[in-house]
Amino acid sequence: MGYDSAPMRAIDTRHLGNEKVICCWEVDGVLVDPGPESTLPTVLDALGDTEPRAILLTHIHFDHAGATGALLRRWPDLPVFVHERGARHIVGPGRLVASAARLYGGEDGLARLWGEVVPVPEERLKVLSGGETLGDWHVAYTPGHASHHVSYLDADGTLFAGDSVGVRIVPARHILPVSPPPEVDLDGWHRTLDEIERRRPNRLALTHFGVVDDPGDHLARMREGLDLWAARVRDGMTEDEFVKAARQDLHADEGPDADYYERAGPLWQSYAGLRRYWDKRERAA
């Protein structure tokens, strides 16, 4: 099934006016990762008269979940499914907003990118730990990119993977193992990739961006890319060196289409996340 065919639909949220950056998946009235609040008008326009039945969040980063509270203003009875580690942060997002503001250059920078972060009423939450069955959907706990990350496997074998398998702007083949701070966990991420492989999905539905019809090959190359980036940071590359090397790899594979990738996964963020991971390991040792 292609990603523009019913009942599965990719809504390009056109983040900052750009195509192929952030996708909101709509499956028979269920929204998987509605995107940031700044792109909500695009999502609402695409929905038209369709009233969503539920929101499934793979994780609570603003590019995936930021519009959730604003959608609850419009449809206050919508259930919101989220991992237990992320639940309190969407009910009371103050700490998350403050942390993100430091990353994005203050509150103005945060608002420009992601819009307003509206709290989600606690009574609307359906809290997940992984392993649940939601009708025809199966929930897998898939940490690595974030400790509160889950993925959803639909009955037709489509895995809605969030950022657990990286950024790939289909039909391009290059994969960015996006790894922003603060919760990158390389060991957990490898277990996640093993778990996804064990489930043998027919396809991977990516938030950034499109449907991957070669999941086995994709997962193998994701592992290689993750290990390469981790080793570069561990072995002492500076941020400038890391970004230059990653950009060279990207442009060698994708040429003029490479710019789409950095809009979806800024390379400096992945350096920061991996540097934080290795620094924590060193302190613990």
Task: Give me the residue label for tokens 């592992």.
Answer: 223
Amino acid letter at 61?
H
**For the chain, what is the total number of helices (H) and then of strands (E)?**
11, 12
**Per-residue pLDDT for 6 more than 70?**
no
Q: What backbone phi and psi angles, to 5 degrees, belong to 201?
A: -65, 150
Average pLDDT, the chain: 90
Give how far the C-alpha of residue 151 lies from the chain's centroid of Cα atoms, to the nearest Å: 10
Determine the pLDDT at residue 4: 45
Examine the pLDDT at 3 and tell me if it is beyond 90.
Answer: no
> Is residue 132 pLDDT above 90, yes or no?
yes
Which residue's structure tokens are 């290795």? Answer: 278
How large is the average pLDDT for residues 8-17? 91
pLDDT above 70 (res 78):
yes
Res 19 pLDDT > 60: yes
The whole-number average pLDDT for the span 119-123 is 92
Contact 66, 75 (CB under 8 A): no
Torsion angle in degrees (nearest 10) through CA of 167, 170, 175, 176:
-30
Mean pLDDT to the nearest integer, 253-270: 86
Q: What separation in angstroms does the CA of 66 have from each of 40, 96, 118?
A: 9, 11, 8
In this predicted structure, the answer to whether residue 226 has a pLDDT above a threshold of 70 is yes
Confidence of residue 2 (pLDDT cuts 50, 70, 90): very low
- DSSP letter at 205 equals E
Instruction: Copy the structure tokens of residue 156.
Output: 């037709």
At residue 58, what are phi and psi to the nearest 5 degrees? -75, -40
What is the CATH number assigned to the segment(s) 8-284?
Answer: 3.60.15.10
pLDDT category of residue 188 using cuts at 50, 70 and 90: very high
Residue 117, pLDDT score = 85
Instruction: Report whether 40 contacts 66 (CB < 8 A).
Output: no
* Phi, psi for residue 93 in degrees, rounded to 5: -80, 5
Partners of 10 in beta bridges = 25
- Distance CA(193)–CA(153), nearest Å, equals 14
Token pair for 169: 């702007």
- Band (pLDDT 50/70/90 cuts) for residue 198 is very high
Domain boundaries of the chain, sorted by first residue: 8-284
Higher-pLDDT residue of 93, 45: 45
Please tell me which residue, 109 or 185, carries the higher pLDDT value.
Answer: 185
Structure tokens given for 27: 């499956």
Per-residue pLDDT of 152-180, as tens digits, reads 999 899 999 999 999 999 999 999 999 99
Model-level pTM greater than 0.85?
A: yes
**Quick one: tokens of 284?**
């613990």
Does residue 276 surpass a pLDDT of 60? yes
User: What is the reported pLDDT for 243?
Assistant: 96
